[in-house]
Amino acid sequence: MSTHDDEQLENLKRFWQDYGTPILVGSSIALAVFAGWRYWQQTKLETASQAASSYQKTQDAYQKLAVSPEDKTANTELQREAQRLIQDYTTTPYALNASLLLAKRAMDNKDLKEAEKQLRWVLTQPVDDGVKSIATLRLARLLVEKADNKGAIDLLNKDTNAAFTPSREELRGDILKVMGDVAGAQKAYQAASKALDERKEPRPLLDMKMADVGLIAPEIKRPSPIKQEAGA
């Protein structure tokens, strides 16, 4: 072996003496991190699959109850699967939707206390604006059922989702009208009308409500129909 080869061998020995252990430790950590990531990914997929399966059962049970409200077996399955989603898969959208279904079922049964419990739970979760607005509107209607009109108005004031402006403002107008605040009802109905006008959406019921508080609903400008040439 040449002197040059001997020097390279000695350099390699010194390198492993100085850095061999850190390299091996680093490699072990990298492998552990990769294994942990793979496990997390697999667990995440399994969790999503289990939650989806449970939610499907929840929906199926709810649909059965829509046809046969007294179906005790379907009601038991609905409660079991929905509660499972809420307790075991709290951070998933399935849990939120399950809670909304429980609230609707409770409303159908005139169980306002249970419905309010479910809707308020949804509002405590980190939900997207759409789900939050749906829960807000449903809870506001529930509070009106309980004659808590002020509570309903306060709740609507917290929602600013533009996508739900027509529904929110129309409901606000309904509540203010019942409270005797005609001017407030007019303002709310006009806000709902403006939002619908911008979307070119029909609003026959809103028009009737506006007329009932002394307003004339503006006509929606629609594009003129395309005229076909003779013989076309």
> Would you say residue 31 has pLDDT above 50?
no
Confidence grade of residue 217 (pLDDT, cut at 50, 70, 90):
low
* Nearest residue to 191 (alpha-carbon basis) of 208, 168, 175: 168
Report the amino acid identity of residue 225. Answer: P
Q: 56-83: b or e for each residue (b if 16 or more CB lie within 10 Å)?
A: ebbbebbebbeeeeeeeebbebbeebbb
User: Could you write out the three-class secondary structure of 160-186?
Assistant: CCHHHHHHHHHHHHHHHHHCCCHHHHH
User: CB under 8 Å to 63, separation ≥6 — which residues?
Assistant: none
Q: What is the pLDDT of residue 49?
A: 77
Q: What is the pLDDT of residue 17?
A: 63
**Mean pLDDT, residues 205-216 taken together:** 90
**Per-domain boundaries in the chain:** 51-127, 153-219
Least confident among 29-38, 43-52, 62-71: 29-38
Work out whether the CA dihedral 12, 17, 21, 22 comes out positive or negative: negative
Q: What is the pLDDT of residue 5?
A: 59
| Residue 112, Cβ density class (10 Å: 0-12 exposed, 13-18 middle, ≥19 buried) | middle
In tens, the pLDDT along 60-111 reads 998 998 899 899 999 999 999 999 999 999 888 899 999 999 999 999 999 9
Q: What is the pLDDT of residue 199?
A: 87
> Would you say residue 218 has pLDDT above 60?
no
In the chain, the percentage of residues whose pLDDT exceeds 70 is 72
> Would you say residue 221 has pLDDT above 60?
no
What is the rounded distance in angstroms from the CA atom of residue 123 to the CA atom of residue 131? 9
Looking at residue 200, the DSSP 8-state letter turns out to be T
In tens, the pLDDT along 165-204 reads 999 999 999 999 999 999 999 999 999 999 999 988 888 8
Q: Where are the beta strands (DSSP E) in the chain?
A: none
Contact 139, 123 (CB under 8 A): yes
In tens, the pLDDT along 104-149 reads 999 999 999 999 999 999 999 988 889 999 999 999 999 999 999 9
* Nearest residue to 65 (alpha-carbon basis) of 77, 56, 53: 77
Report the amino acid identity of residue 208. Answer: M
User: CB under 8 Å to 104, separation ≥6 — which residues?
Assistant: 62, 115, 138
> Would you say residue 220 has pLDDT above 70?
no
Q: What is the pLDDT of residue 21?
A: 58
